[in-house]
Structure 1
Amino acid sequence: MKVVVVHYHFKSGGVTSVIRRHLEACLRAGIEAFLLTGEEPPDSPGVPWETVPGLAYDPPGRRESPDTVLGRGAALARDLAAAAGRLSGGGPVLYHVHNPTIRKNAALCPALDILARTGARILIQAHDFAEDWRPDMLQHGLPYPAGCRWAVLNGRDYRALRDAGLSEADIDLLPNPLPSRAASVPPASASRADLVLYPVRGIPRKNLGELLLLSRWLPPDLSAAVTLPPNNPRDRPIHEAWKSLARETGARVFFDAGLSSSLDDLYARTRTVVTTSVKEGFGFSFLEPLARGVPVAGRRLASVLPDFEAAGISYPGLYSALRVPEGLFNREAFETRLYAVLESVSRAVAAALGHRPSWLAERMDRVRQAALPPEGPDFGVLDAEAQAEALERVFRDPDAPSSFEARNPFLRSWWEVPPPDGSEALEEYSPARCGDRLVEAYERTVASVGSGSTPDRAALLRALLVPEGFFCPGL
């Protein structure tokens, strides 16, 4: 078997880390693996590779007619097939394509549709769905490819594809593997544990405002640290704004800690890992700390945690919401912005589908009601402006922390989490087990070439565009 892995780039990040582990799994299984990427890799992927320029991200703000996109797709299909042939030496290959359904390159899905119609074996792995509250990433006016198998990272996305018309026989569940060396790094000793670590890039959906809020309750011997800044220039202004607010309020949160210290060195000082993220494709930050013997505290994500809990992993240090007391932010102004955001989402859905589905208005009404409930909004639902207003009060008004504690008693000791157990359950996410699943998915893809249908995009939107998935920092 020859596998050609396809992705827009090979820059450092979550998808690239997964691709590296998949390539390693192929080598262990005796599968010839190759890489096609839109940009030259910054370091060696460990397998033969080629750059296909037409695979790179589209320029920001690019808008094209469907006919133009289809034309680019036809050219990209030819380029992908030619590059795959050069790398593999000819003969059949299996294309393992990562994240084509988010509109980073509008030509990729049409290219895959063309390749599939010519008999190519294609496994599409969706790490994220644009239909899951990512309106700027929705494909416009074109269906997803037909004749492909699909793979997802979690059970929720599996069910969403099934509800969108795919047969269960055409969907594989491929959770991300843990790095093989994670468990080899010992946890911090009690005398050195002076950090609560957030090991992520500080992109908006990581919800850094909530980390600043949590830091208000840390004892004097603990500080919070975020490891890395965003890569995308578009995300840097909000990241810098949180850094400035931390300085102004005196919040004990260090940013970009991973630029001056290795991740292992930071873990050697870590008492607890924290996550305040409001959107994850897989939820790797819930697993790696446990493999290192470090507990996890913070926000529970209903989109990914049920899979881990079903595997026997427990998370006693997580909360489902962080209620904001009345009067700590300008509710009327936020409500106005909320209406504008939801109308923008509705317009994006209509543009993607070519019409406004009948259920959309009622769904947006439900989201508005859920965002501002009588018991107070969840801090993670608020946008950056409302979060900053609440943070100013919490750090400068001596009465504000106690009002937060009254609604969220766990705040008094949120970082105190017992050491993790259930290390045997982590075996489900070991490189060996995940590698076996990957090979099995490849074998099923080869056996079912051309048989997959295309998911109904309106049904996929209806399954994923739900109130419990709405968080302003995740848009």
Structure 2
Amino acid sequence: MTPPYSVAIVHYHLHRGGVTRVIHTASRCLTELGIRHVILSGEPDESGASLPVKVVEGLRYHTDPGGPTARQLMKEMKAAVVASLGSDPIVWHFHNHSLGRNTVIADVVAQLAEAGEAMVLQFHDLAEDGRPMNYPLIADAELLYPHSPRIKQAFLNSRDRRHFLAAGLPAGHSVLLPNAITQPAAVKPLEKKPDAALVLYPIRAIRRKNLGELFLLSVLSPKGTRYAVSLAPDAVRWMPVYEEWRAFAADTGLPVLLDVVGRLSPSPKSPRTYASWLRHATHCINTSVAEGFGLGFLEPVTLGKPLLGRNLPAVTNDFAEAGIVPGRLYDRLLVPVEWVGRETLRQRLIRSMRATLESYGEPMSNEHLERSFAAMLHDGHLDFGNLPEDLQRQVIHRLLSGDGLDQVLVEIRAETQPARTWLRRTLKLTEPTAKPGDLLPYSTDAYSSRLKKLYAELIDAKPEPPEEVPKHKILAGYLKPGSFHFLLS
């Protein structure tokens, strides 16, 4: 039986990336469920997939004055929905409406909320969480986080949901909606076992992915080990940091290859494709310092590739609750504080934190400074992943001179050991720590069931005037003293 409602999925664009993949998966799930739907995007789907996409140009990234008003954009969106689906009751499913990438999208959501429309507001990224450049665009929104029995906030991980609950969101107006893990095409094993490890980081190299950590690990890895990053950034704002690492790779000759897909081959005469790099990779890695869901932790399991690198409890705790050990991960990568200097770090912290907090319209208090500085110190060490890039390069140059190779430590569950020893042992292990069957909680079937239940609950709920989660409380939760991170500033 066809459900008595349709769904409109709304996003700024359909470029290659995590959110687009989630939307593609959701569309296929809805098709299998027999739920009529349309995807409203500010730009065409660059994948060329045969999905029901309608382009509404006013949805694209737009941060300058001018352009359509919220009322005009809402009118265009409704017209596109009616043209595609007729006049069935609609569930609006917005992705990242509060990210600060469009001048009016938050106001569109507010107007739909006031009209009693059924809505899912799904967060993949938040302007309050390490995106100070985005926040000014949403700071003055009158109704940024509406909720009611017909409006649910959907979260990829429990940590973000806890932030919103602490700020006043009723638990019944929220839902945990983790991404589905889709089974990729099988990767044909190599005929001959490689002589040395090839460690693939399958990401776009934006700042929070922490490229410096790859270079540090490459210094400490067994001879012949190579590290590869699949793609360059696709946003202008991240290119200066990326270009600095490209220049560093050229200057040092370290075995870290950047932007490899389509540009380089993993071995002589092999294709330059992503599939080819996956095939040749002996391991996958994560060094990111922040993620919304953490696809990169689970996808290597589907490929039969072992994962190593940095743990992110904000996302991996949910995996642990599901009984999944995604990889061989360290909690911190520690270097002696004297390699950077306490006063150097403190002065950099003062400058960076003040600028970041000002972007959020917040003053820097002495409590912010002292608690954040104290949080960076770990028994005479600093976590390499929370250093600005120039200080990361300073540390790596010291190691390249042969000084202190065994003073770099990995911390795993409060125990430390030399990172060089840990790497030598870990890179010899070629079996993943989980099996594809362990991922059933994140299957497309499970995702379909969650979507169907969520939409039915919203359509059946009676309209009530929306209330708002106070946005200043959301901001305070993410900016609490002691939480500052250089690579998220």
Q: Which residue is 2:486 aligned to?
A: 472
TM-score (norm 1): 0.90
State the partner residue of 1:462.
476
Provide the residue aligned with 1:50 in structure 2.
54
Q: What secondary structure, in the 3-state scheme, does the structure 1 residue paired with 2:22 have?
A: helix
- State how far apart, in whole Å, the 1-side matches of 2:369 and 2:277 are: 42
Against the structure 1 CA distance between its residues 362 and 75, is the aligned structure 2 distance closer, same or farther, given a 3 Å change threshold?
farther
Which residue pairs with 2:127 in the alignment? 130
Describe the shift of the 1:73–1:294 C-alpha distance in structure 2 as closer, same or farther (beyond 3 A): same
C-alpha displacement of 1:40: 2.6
Task: Report whether the alignment pairs 1:169 with 2:166.
Answer: no
**Helix, strand or coil: the match of 2:8?**
strand
Which one-letter code corresponds to 2:229 in the other structure? V
Q: How far apart, in 2, do the equivalents of 1:180 and 1:398 lie?
A: 43
Q: Name which of 177, 181, 186 aligns with 1:178.
A: 181
Query: Counterpart in 2 of 1:347?
Result: 358
Contact 2:156 2:178 in 1 (8 A): yes
- Counterpart residue type for residue 288 of structure 1: E
Instruction: For residue 466 of structure 1, report the CA deviation from its aligned partner.
Output: 4.3
My pick for the range that moved more, 241-250 or 450-459, is 450-459
Q: CA–CA distance in 1 between the matches of 2:192 and 2:434? A: 18
* Mapped partners of 1:342, 1:264: distance in 2: 41
Q: CA deviation at 1:326?
A: 3.3
Which of 453, 463, 473 matches 2:467?
Answer: 453
Q: Does 1:203 align with 2:197?
A: no
State the 1:172 CA deviation: 1.3
Q: Report Cα offsets for 1:174-214 as digits up to 9, x if no partner.
A: 111112325x3356677136411111111111000111101
Aligned residues: 460
SS in 2 for 1:435: helix
Q: What secondary structure sits across from 1:274 in the alignment?
A: strand
Q: How does 1:275-286 map to 2 (within 5 A)?
A: 275-286=286-297
- Secondary structure of the 1:177 match is coil
CA positional deviation for 1:323: 1.3
Match of 1:413 among 399, 418, 422: 422
Q: Given the alignment, which residue of 74, 91, 94 partners 1:94?
A: 91
Please, which of 299, 303, 322 is the counterpart of residue 292 of structure 1? 303
Q: Is the 8 A contact 2:213 2:384 kept in 1?
A: yes
Helix, strand or coil: the match of 1:200? strand
In structure 1, the partner of 2:269 is none
Match among 310, 313, 331 for residue 320 of structure 1? 331
Partner of 2:23: 19
Residues 316 and 108 from structure 1, CA distance in 2 versus in 1: closer, same or farther, beyond 3 angstroms? closer
| Residues 9-39 of structure 1: CA deviation (Å, up to 9, x unaligned) | 1111111111110111111111112111112
Between structures 1 and 2, the one with greater strand share: 2
Distance 1:206 1:467, change over 3 A: farther
The match for 1:392 is 397
Within-5 A mapping of 1:116-155: 116-138=113-135, 139-142=138-141, 143-147=143-147, 148-155=151-158
1:140 alignment partner AA: A
Deviation per residue, 1:321-358 (Å, 9 max, x gap): 1112134335534422221221123223336xxxx6xx
CA distance in 1, matches of 2:417, 2:208: 22
Aligned equivalent of 1:105? 102
Out of 263, 274, 290, the residue aligned to residue 263 of structure 1 is 274
Structure-2-length-normalised TM-score: 0.88
Partner of 1:274: 285
- Matched letter for residue 474 of structure 2: L
**Equivalent position amino acid for 1:411 in 2:** R
| Residue matched to 2:233 | 230
Residue 322 of structure 1 contacts residue 408 of structure 1 at CA under 8 Å; is this kept in 2?
no
Q: CA deviation at 1:89?
A: 1.9
Cα separation, partners in 2 of 1:262 and 1:440, compared to 1, 3 Å: farther
Amino acid at match of 1:46: S
Pairwise CA RMSD: 2.4
Report whether the alignment pairs 1:403 with 2:407: yes
**Maintained 8 Å contact 1:4/1:93:** yes
**Residue type of the partner of 2:139?**
H
AA matched with 2:61: Y
Contact preservation (8 Å) 2:61, 2:101? yes
Letter in 2 for 1:456: P
Aligned-partner Cα distance in 1 for 2:33–2:80: 23
- Partner of residue 12, structure 2: 8
Other-structure match for 1:85? 82
The list of structure 1 runs, each at least 4 consecutive aligned residues, that deviate by more than 6 angstroms after superposition, is: none
Task: Establish whether residue 381 from structure 1 lines up as the match of residue 386 from structure 2.
Answer: yes
Name the SS for the 1:95 alignment partner: strand
Secondary structure in 1 matching 2:433: coil
What's 1:31 paired with?
A: 35
Letter in 2 for 1:14: G
Secondary structure, aligned partner of 2:116: coil
**Residues 303, 244 of structure 1: CA spacing in aligned structure 2 closer, same or farther, 3 A cutoff?**
same
CA distance in 1, matches of 2:478, 2:240: 29
Unaligned 5+ segments in structure 1 are: none
SS in 2 for 1:36: strand
Deviations 1:363-420 (A, max 9, x none): 443113212455222111111111111111112x212313325975133232434532
1:139-159: per-residue Cα shift (whole Å, max 9, x none)? 212231424211110111121
State how far apart, in whole Å, the 2-side matches of 1:122 and 1:111 are: 12
**Hey, what's the Cα distance between the residues in 1 that align with 2:409 and 2:120?**
48
Q: What is the DSSP-based 3-state SS (H/G/I as helix, E as strand, rest coil) of the residue aligned with 1:216?
A: helix
- With over 3 angstroms needed to count, the CA separation of the structure-2 counterparts of 1:361 and 1:164, relative to structure 1, is farther
Cα distance 1:203–1:449, how it changes in 2: closer, same or farther (>3 A)?
A: farther
1:423 & 1:468 partners in 2: Cα distance? 37
**Distance across 2 between alignment mates of 1:93 and 1:78:** 14
Q: Kindly, what percent of the aligned residue pairs are identical? A: 31
CA offsets 1:42-93 (integer angstroms, 9 cap, x no match): 243433322222211124xx4x6xxx89x82222222222222222222321
Aligned partner of residue 408 in structure 2, secondary structure = helix
Distance 1:176 1:207, change over 3 A: same
Partner residue, 2:193: 191
Give the AA of the match of 2:390: E
Distance 1:76 1:313, change over 3 A: same
